[in-house]
Copies of this chain bind each other. A is one copy, B any other.
Amino acid sequence: MKKQIVNVERRSDCGLSMALEALGDRWSLLILRDLMFTEKRSYSELQSSEEGIATNILASRLAALEGNQIIRKYSDITNGRRSLYYLTQKGIDLVPVVLELMHWMSVYNPQAAVCSKQMKAFRKDRVSTISNYMEQLKIQHLEDHE
């Protein structure tokens, strides 16, 4: 473990560049997708996703996402050996990004059928689909942790 969490040097002050320093890899947004649209919350559940993330990569990404305050880790009160990961508000605010990316690919590749449930609603009403998902996650977070 080196300097994954605190990246000392910033490439520029462009928001996009800064965002990509936190999210610009092949795995981070997939982890967030699972926290947004599935019930997966534990390490092993997240590891079980279709794409098959390697365990060391998952660990390093979770640490980085937590370091960037995009997710937060809680220990499961009903099972001391389980940890549970939840999106923070900062993470919930990435819902539009994830939905826009999914939608983009669904337009240009018809095989992108997995998340079609979300896409059907999105195509019908972009704005309210986004805010519905965000609202739901917010409520869930409040229920689970306050």
Count of identical protomers in the assembly: 2
Chain B residues with Cβ under 8 A from A98's Cβ? 16
Q: Please state if A100 and B102 are interface contacts (CB–CB under 8 Å).
A: no
B residues less than 8 Å from A50 (CB atoms) = 11-12, 14, 17
Q: Tell me which residues across on chain B come within 8 A of A103, comparing CB atoms.
A: 15
Flag if A18 contacts B94 (CB, 8 Å). no
Q: Is the CB of B16 within 8 A of A101?
A: yes
Q: Is A13 an interface residue (CB 8 A)?
A: yes
Q: Which chain B residue shows the least CB distance to A126?
A: B127
Q: How near does chain B come to A6, taking the closest CB pair, in angstroms?
A: 14
Chain A interface bracket (under 10, 10 to 19, 20 to 34, 35 or more): 35 or more
Are A15's CB and B115's CB within 8 A?
Answer: yes
Are A30 and B19 CB-contacts (below 8 A) given A97-B100, A100-B100? no
Which secondary structure dominates chain A's binding surface?
A: helix
CB of A48 within 8 Å of the partner chain? no
Residue on B nearest A101 in the bound complex, by CB: B19
Closest partner residue, chain B, to A114 (CB atom): B14
Determine, out of A55-63, A73-81, A104-112, A138-146, the stretch whose residues face the partner at the interface: A104-112
Contact call A15/B93, Cβ cutoff below 8 A: no
Give 11 A-B pairs besides A24-B24, A25-B25 with Cβ atoms closer than 8 angstroms. A11-B50, A14-B30, A14-B50, A15-B104, A15-B106, A15-B119, A19-B104, A20-B29, A25-B26, A93-B108, A94-B104
